[in-house]
Amino acid sequence: MYFSSDNWAGAHPKISERLMAASTGFAPAYGTSDLDRKVAERFNAIFERDVEVFFVGTGTAANSLALASVTKPGGVTFCHHEAHIHTDECGAPGFFAHGARLMPVSGDNAKVDCAALEAEIARFPEGGVHFGQAASVSITQATEFGTVYTLDEIAAVGEIAARNRLPFHMDGARFANALVSLGCSPAEMTWKRGVDILSFGGTKNGCWMAEALVFLKPELAREMPYLRKRSAQLFSKSRFIAAQFDAYLENDLWLSLAGRANAMADRLRAGLSASATCRNAWATTANEVFAVMPKAVMDKAFAAGARFYDWPQPKDQPGLLKEGEVLTRLVTSYATEAGEVDALLALLG
Amino acid sequence: MYFSSDNWAGAHPKISERLMAASTGFAPAYGTSDLDRKVAERFNAIFERDVEVFFVGTGTAANSLALASVTKPGGVTFCHHEAHIHTDECGAPGFFAHGARLMPVSGDNAKVDCAALEAEIARFPEGGVHFGQAASVSITQATEFGTVYTLDEIAAVGEIAARNRLPFHMDGARFANALVSLGCSPAEMTWKRGVDILSFGGTKNGCWMAEALVFLKPELAREMPYLRKRSAQLFSKSRFIAAQFDAYLENDLWLSLAGRANAMADRLRAGLSASATCRNAWATTANEVFAVMPKAVMDKAFAAGARFYDWPQPKDQPGLLKEGEVLTRLVTSYATEAGEVDALLALLG
Amino acid sequence: MYFSSDNWAGAHPKISERLMAASTGFAPAYGTSDLDRKVAERFNAIFERDVEVFFVGTGTAANSLALASVTKPGGVTFCHHEAHIHTDECGAPGFFAHGARLMPVSGDNAKVDCAALEAEIARFPEGGVHFGQAASVSITQATEFGTVYTLDEIAAVGEIAARNRLPFHMDGARFANALVSLGCSPAEMTWKRGVDILSFGGTKNGCWMAEALVFLKPELAREMPYLRKRSAQLFSKSRFIAAQFDAYLENDLWLSLAGRANAMADRLRAGLSASATCRNAWATTANEVFAVMPKAVMDKAFAAGARFYDWPQPKDQPGLLKEGEVLTRLVTSYATEAGEVDALLALLG
Amino acid sequence: MYFSSDNWAGAHPKISERLMAASTGFAPAYGTSDLDRKVAERFNAIFERDVEVFFVGTGTAANSLALASVTKPGGVTFCHHEAHIHTDECGAPGFFAHGARLMPVSGDNAKVDCAALEAEIARFPEGGVHFGQAASVSITQATEFGTVYTLDEIAAVGEIAARNRLPFHMDGARFANALVSLGCSPAEMTWKRGVDILSFGGTKNGCWMAEALVFLKPELAREMPYLRKRSAQLFSKSRFIAAQFDAYLENDLWLSLAGRANAMADRLRAGLSASATCRNAWATTANEVFAVMPKAVMDKAFAAGARFYDWPQPKDQPGLLKEGEVLTRLVTSYATEAGEVDALLALLG
């Protein structure tokens, strides 16, 4: 009963097999192999336009390099205060971008509120040298709270970014889960709604280490080869990342893996809705589920071998928990079995 | 006939298989799995003392984090002017260490000359605030020139570092090749000669991506968990790096792979010694061989499908090449076949 | 009628004269002159203990270097969300401290609330590598809102900092104004309440450019000579900063200048209390006054030549302004004349 | 007998008086006063074109910000190995430019050799991601060795920079001394020879703290307002720097001060030429003189109260000193008296 995180899962057999197959023979290093090129082209097809793709090692690297590529001196990136870049990356964005700052924006369900975003951007008028300068906007899709921006919501943020001439970044560590949840195309969820740069995650969805930084607006990528090398994210045997993506993107494997994860989350959500003791903390639609439960129930589940995290109560939801209750996070993955979900639900009661 | 670099090779079957085996099931993320712990302990055994090990993604990351962990404001790292950190990492050490500098030191055979090192260090007396301050010493073992520091040579550098209270770093991207060449133990080649921090490379020797930053003096590692995370080098599925090292270090696989690479280089060296048209540029003992050959011979070899690099003539060897000759680098790996070496030698004539 | 900022004033004649006197003759550069030493010793006397003093050029430099001197990888400085370091320094603290972050803390009157501070610190438990690590606490005395921490309030923050082993910094750009307002000694307002590092400002109080970074805990200053030089804040003719401080600190000139500024602010506050159209926005005690007034009144004042700034409404005071009203900031200085205050009050009505 | 450095001198009376005059009254802060604007315009006149001028506090700040304004990821600045930015700024350029590197170039008389420069630049071909990328060229005028680039020599470096599309920076800490030595106009010594960015120093030549960063190609200055503020080099009472430059540039005061310094150096050079015991180490033409003398003579001079520095022997001049001799540096300034020069010469014998 592993619901701690989707990165506790291993690697899907098709991805492992492709890795194995790629392990023989010789190939040019540092991203110049035929396989690297072939996979880069596949990204063009998936996004229905010419994109620039850079393989990197971690989601934090993808996000930090994305923001660094469009930073400015005294620069500010606007993101939700629950964004991964803000809460969980040990300040990496600031380090990569020479002290540039993240300016947290409020909004329900871990989604940036457009009015709040505009108000924050307005605090950085052009020429306001003491304040610094607006540099970019970043959203997380799916969010840290298991919610998903609708296409209209993305477009609304994109419109604000464009009007302020700010590059628009999407942290897609769980891009596939969001995509499956919305049932749209990658193009529709990104550049058709104004997204310029995408952190395209594979690791949480069945790869063992495959992250891609995708420039939907390739002219923003000019310095990226140097930014990536300088930050130690250019892999000599890059073809092994390419191999993972090659299998991942083939025959829509990635979508079916995300579909599986989401379906298991649906099963969990339904079970929680019917639970006598627990409840969904808020509506979620991707592969993260947040449950409120009595602490005693959580402790019992832990004792029985269930693995998941209790979670800090969001500041903006003061009435969420009743006496004795805790907030928990339950994450499903491509590897989650229905039986495990049912066993957990049985434990929770 | 692939002699471009040892990182053009793939992954050894035993390593691929271990990866495959590790790909099922669930495990705690970010380096906290049982396998991560088990492998960390194996490093203790290999180095015959308690060390602190941090898995990272690239050799550049290992080197840069090593230097960052002991940097100071205005800090200076002394290294050979041909060191990888100086010539081939796009300034990553300076980026990781906030603008700290590398101060190149001369020396034959790409090895730091002790007198030159002392002279450079002396240029940074304590309190000389305009100059900056000495921060660390770094050597590469095996060197970029295919040579290997003897144990006495390492000890001599270590003694200078210690006397000046400077942490001593070894870039061991080809650690195994050097070790096999010297026929000594890891402890003898490192901390018994004064080395404090080691970049322990696996990628060039049969792993597909496995680098370890090894603190032989664990108290220097205090900030490393944060340094690593902040620079986006903490991998969620870290156990896959652990799995590679698990196979790599088992039954001395790593030594036998390096032994194979070195033996193939020996074969190449012997062939060059007997060649009518080509010659060894200088004496090498690890898995890099530098050959002087007529440009026409190189072109012919390329045309026949051989892959290797021509190489810039070292500044301090002005008389190395005669009219019409070029310097080339030939690298063998665990995957190099004797037949390939012989075929190349036949081509070179 | 100049109330825009205390840095619109010039330099007090005694300070100008001392500068003039210091301008002849030769003296060792870079802070090593007799005058530099003499003034450094005077700081010991003023703070009643041995301190380490570093002259720098701007308040931003003093603050940023203070935080940089105690930063850590992934480090976080806790400060009020209205702190100058957070709102008005173009991200300089993050730049000096390699991407380290400021974590804004709420609190009435621009003073850090202790419960909120503890809650924020608690979000950075030891070993929480994803979050980063707590590195320091900073308060501004007097605050950006013209308020002054009481000695007990400083002690309370200091106690929290000490309990969490976090260095405690005070931004004293208006140190003298706060000191005079409290009527206590420098020691009482700083290290006796737990303050470890102080940005001691002279520029806003009658110097033309004199800022000092004072380490009340000298062992924290070990790297500061290099930090200062590396960030281009070591002045060759440092003795001219020393000369300013020499006059500034002599015969309590600094206290009498701040007393004058505060008294002018008192006169302004009293006038606003009696005004038919304007009012004090909140209670202030140093040399910044915040006034609520009808926009028409402000415009009339501007037209008549008064100089001051309208000010953004604090987020946490939504009911502050009535329809048609604006918030304004009025700053007095050592050079403000009573007649100017009265003229302004007459204009405001 | 003060010959340690031109920054041991104080401030010229005309500059002190202007400071005094500027010290009364109120004026807008942060470089927006009428005086700031007036002086900025004077720079246009002096350089015979529209330039962008930024006042900063130190020469190190001017240099580091200049290089930072044109840096790139993995960027490399080419400069002479004796350049101040390379030897005497505690790594500030690397810190300001995020780890960007200085690549030392050889050349006689502390001047960049054109062939060596081209060879170094060639080591950074476009797309060579491992090496980093060429970012800028910097020369020092007058050099650290008291020599002065001729106009043709500047043009030759400028031509190489332009051909490689590299911005060309001149460190003019002693700009006036070089200008007077060449007897040309500021335009002729800068942009007419390809210089794009100039560090224009006033401090060493009679100001107490006045440095200007002059963009002769204003489009390179776009980010400078933020770069300057972020690095804590925007002075609130900027008008006091303006006041110094106002006097400095009025009626060619700066040229007459530099002329005085150079003339005193000429007197010294002539004396050394005629000396029985000492000699000019090499030909110098600005206000730095390098003398070879017996150590006993130096010691005697020190004992008699003369102040100057002994100097490390340049690596590329191994035969400079005979047994028992030392190299010394003697610097004159606007404040040096002929009598002092003669007294020193008498001492040296």
On the CB side of B243, how many CA atoms lie within 13 Å of its CA?
Answer: 23
Position A178, amino acid: A
Our CA dihedral for C179, C182, C187, C190, rounded to 10 degrees, sits at -80
Residue of C nearest to D233 (CA): C58
Residues of chain B with pLDDT under 50: none
Interface residue C230 vs chain B (CB under 8 A)? yes
Maximum pairwise Cα distance, chain B: 62
Would you state the structure tokens that stand for residue B326, as one six-digit string?
């070029």
Mean pLDDT of D240-261: 98
CA distance D238 to chain A (A): 15
Task: Report how far residue D156's alpha carbon sits from residue D175's, in angstroms, rounded to the nearest whole number.
Answer: 19
* Structure tokens given for D327: 């190299």
Yes or no: say if B338 and B264 are a contact pair by the CB < 8 Å rule: yes
| pLDDT tier, A55 (very low <50, low <70, confident <90, very high otherwise) | very high
Instruction: Tell whether C73 lies on the interface with B, counting CB pairs under 8 A.
Output: yes
The model's confidence at residue D94, banded by pLDDT at 50, 70 and 90, is: very high
CA distance B270 to D264: 68
**Spatial separation of the C-alpha atoms in residues A4 and A309, rounded to whole Å:** 6
The position carrying tokens 């993808």 is A62
* Calpha distance A203→A180 (Å, rounded): 17
Domain positions in chain D are 14-253, 256-348
Probe site for chain D from B7, B81, B90, B310 (most D CB atoms < 10 A):
B90
DSSP designation for B89: S
D 319-338 residues with CB < 8 A to C? 335
| A233 CB within 8 Å of a chain D CB | no
Instruction: Quote the CA–CA distance of A215 and C227 in Å, as a whole number.
Output: 37
Alpha-carbon gap, residue B299 to B279, rounded angstroms: 16
C90, C209, C232: residue with CB nearest D226: C90
Q: Cα dihedral sign for A274, A279, A283, A286?
A: negative
A106 in B contact zone (CB under 8 Å): no
Whole-number Å distance between alpha carbons of A238 and A250: 18
Distance CA D28, CA D36 (A): 10
Please give the Cα distance from D205 to D254 (Å, whole number).
Answer: 7
pLDDT at A79: 98
Residue to mutate among C30, C33, C231, C234, with most D CBs inside 10 A, is: C231
* Mode of pairing for the β-strands spanning A325-331 and A288-294: antiparallel
Chain segment C196-218, per-residue pLDDT in tens? 999 999 999 999 999 999 999 99
Q: Which residue of D has its CA nearest to C20?
A: D16
* Cβ atoms of A111 and A128 closer than 8 Å: no
Residue B47, sorted as left (phi over 0), alpha (psi -120 to 50) or beta, turns out to be: alpha
Q: CB–CB of C309/C270 below 8 Å?
A: no
Burial A285-312 (b: 16+ CB within 10 A, else e): bbbbbbbbbbeebbeebeeeebbbeebe
Q: Quote the longest CA-to-CA distance of chain C.
A: 62
Which residue is associated with the tokens 């921090």? B197
Specify which residues B2 forms β-bridges with: B307
Give the residue on A whose Cα is nearest the Cα of D75: A226
Interface probe with D: pick from B5, B95, B315, most Cβ of D within 10 Å: B95
**What tens-digit pLDDT sequence spans chain C (349 residues)?**
899 999 999 999 999 999 999 999 999 999 999 999 999 999 999 999 999 999 999 999 999 999 999 999 999 999 999 999 999 999 999 999 999 999 999 999 999 999 999 999 999 999 999 999 999 999 999 999 999 999 999 999 999 999 999 999 999 999 999 999 999 999 999 999 999 999 999 999 999 999 999 999 999 999 999 999 999 999 999 999 999 999 999 999 999 999 999 999 999 999 999 999 999 999 999 999 999 999 999 999 999 999 999 999 998 888 999 999 999 999 999 999 999 999 999 999 8
CA B205/CA B176 separation, integer angstroms: 8
Residue A329: per-residue pLDDT: 98
Asked if the C-beta of C129 comes within 8 angstroms of chain B's C-beta atoms, the answer is yes
pLDDT of residue D315: 83
Q: Which residues contact C38 (CB under 8 A, 6 or more apart)?
A: C242, C246
Task: Tell if the CB–CB gap between D232 and C19 is shorter than 8 Å.
Answer: no
Tokens 């002396």, residue located: B122
Please give the span between the terminal C-alpha atoms of chain A, in angstroms, as a whole number. 15
Nearest alpha-carbon partner for B117 in B102, B109, B107, B129: B107
Count of Cβ atoms closer than 10 Å to residue B122 Cβ: 11
Beta strand pairing call for C288-294 and C325-331 = antiparallel
Q: CA-based Rg of chain C, rounded to a whole angstrom?
A: 20
CA B221 remoteness from chain centre: 20
Cβ contact (<8 Å) for B129 and C223?
no
Helices (H), D70-124: 84-87, 92-96, 114-122
Chains that touch C (3 or more CB pairs under 8 A): A, B, D
What digits encode the pLDDT tens for the residues C263-300?
Answer: 999 999 999 999 999 999 999 999 999 999 999 999 99
Residue A315: pLDDT band with limits 50, 70, 90:
confident
Place of tokens 């300076």: B94
**Paired tokens of B81:** 């002017």
Q: Report which of D131, C38, D96, D97 is spatially closest to residue B89, judged by C-alpha positions.
A: D131
Mutate to test the interface with C, among D58, D226, D241 (most CBs of C within 10 A): D58
- Cβ of B127 under 8 Å from any chain A Cβ? no
Interchain CB distance below 8 Å, B91 and D99: yes
* Separation of CA B90 from chain center: 16
Could you tell me the fold of the domain covering B14-253?
Answer: Aspartate Aminotransferase; domain 2 (3.40.640)
What is chain A's length? 349
Phi, psi of B210 (to 5 degrees): -155, 110
Same fold, A14-253 and A256-348: no
**Closest Cβ–Cβ partner in C73, C127, C226 for B230:** C73
Map C225-254 to HEC letters. Answer: HHHHHHCCCCCCCCHHHHHHHHHHHHHHHH
Residue C194: exposed, middle, or buried by beta-carbon count in 10 A (0-12, 13-18, 19+)? buried
DSSP at A156:
H
Element (H, E) at C255: helix C253-273
pLDDT of residue B335: 97
Give residue-wise pLDDT tens across range D31-79: 999 999 999 999 999 999 999 999 999 999 999 999 999 999 999 999 9
Q: What is the architecture of the domain spanning C256-348?
A: Alpha-Beta Complex (3.90)
Enumerate residues 139 to 198 of chain D having a beta carbon within 8 A of any beta carbon in chain C: none
